[in-house]
Amino acid sequence: MDISVIVPLYNEAESLPELEAWIARVMDANRFSYEIIFVDDGSTDDSWKVIRHLQQQHPQTVRGVSFRRNYGKSPALNTGFRLAQGDVVITMDADLQDSPDEIPELYRMVTAGGYDLVSGYKQKRYDPLSKTIPTKLFNATARRVSGIRNLHDFNCGLKAYRAKVVRHIEVYGDMHRYIPYLAKLAGFNRIGEKVVKHQARKYGRTKFGLDRFVNGYLDLLTLWFTGRFGKKPMHFFGLLGSLMFILGFVAVAIVGGMKLYNMYSGAPYTLVTNSPYFFLSLTLMILGCQLFLAGFIGELVVRNSNKRNDYEIDEYLNIDCPVAGDRKQG
């Protein structure tokens, strides 16, 4: 199969028939073999009824999954990734703001262009300022933290993936905003971008809110930290704890040394415990010990994890028995 189109949705009953017809028209015009996987994220409207009807009309191309309740976009995408059968996987939103006309070029960039992942870039947007301004700030931060400098829109719903990419990444929580970063952490570095059309919302209303903006930054920090120190927590906690302990120890030595100097030189002096710097120094030493112990405990957890030797292997050559602990092949 050439293409799997994954459409996560929540309360988008009105747009689904038009979206399915649009995708089918593009696929048939380019003679692609394809499937459309609708993932209903606990909609409270008639979305699932519409998907059932579409599947009955097009049993060869339309598939669907319905969650019992609303879990979020990341679980919906992750479920779709596990079900996709196409050589190239396309994700798009169900609100008709992503144009299926972009699919052929996205497919070409992955298959002929050699990209592992291609992300859409909605250069001209039809969203309110309350959404576009936070989005620009968010993307600027994401570029700097992730090191993927050529992407301008990490959270664009329209993306294309080589099949092996979606088999090697796990999208959880609200990490769908950082799928390019997840792919990079999994070893897929050929990440490109394509300017795509942004349609004005035709039905319903946007589900963007300030909480998503705030949570996005927290998720980015989480992903950066776990990606860099997830398998070696002592490198972070141990280093920081050691520095704080040494700094506290030096400060205590200075406070004590100053008292001894004043004692022997006949200058006035006070008890060490009367100095606030003494207690600040002790606090630094205690925090340093705690951070070091946190790193040590983290190392014990990683050591006993069944994924401690879980590495991303791209390809085997003349190997009959895969190495235990590696990821499955794409």
CATH topology for 3-228 is Spore Coat Polysaccharide Biosynthesis Protein SpsA; Chain A (3.90.550)
pTM: 0.73
H helices of 58-162, where?
A: 73-83, 103-111, 129-146
pLDDT digits (tens, 9 = 90+) for 77-106: 999 999 999 999 999 999 898 999 999 999
Other Cβ atoms within 10 Å of 251 Cβ, number: 18
Distance (Å, whole) CA 57 – CA 54: 5
Give me the percent of the chain exceeding a pLDDT of 70: 85
| β-strand pairing of 62-66 with 34-40 | parallel
pLDDT digits (tens, 9 = 90+) for 51-61: 999 999 999 99
pLDDT digits (tens, 9 = 90+) for 233-263: 888 888 899 999 999 999 888 888 888 888 8
pLDDT at 269 over 60: yes
Average pLDDT rounded to a whole number, residues 197-208: 67
- Residue 113 exposure: Cα atoms within 13 Å on the Cβ side: 20
Distance (Å, whole) CA 161 – CA 190: 11
pLDDT digits (tens, 9 = 90+) for 137-179: 878 888 888 889 889 888 888 999 999 999 999 888 888 888 9
Tokens, residue 299: 């190392």
Other Cβ atoms within 10 Å of 139 Cβ, number: 19
Please give the residue that has the higher pLDDT: either 106 or 231: 106
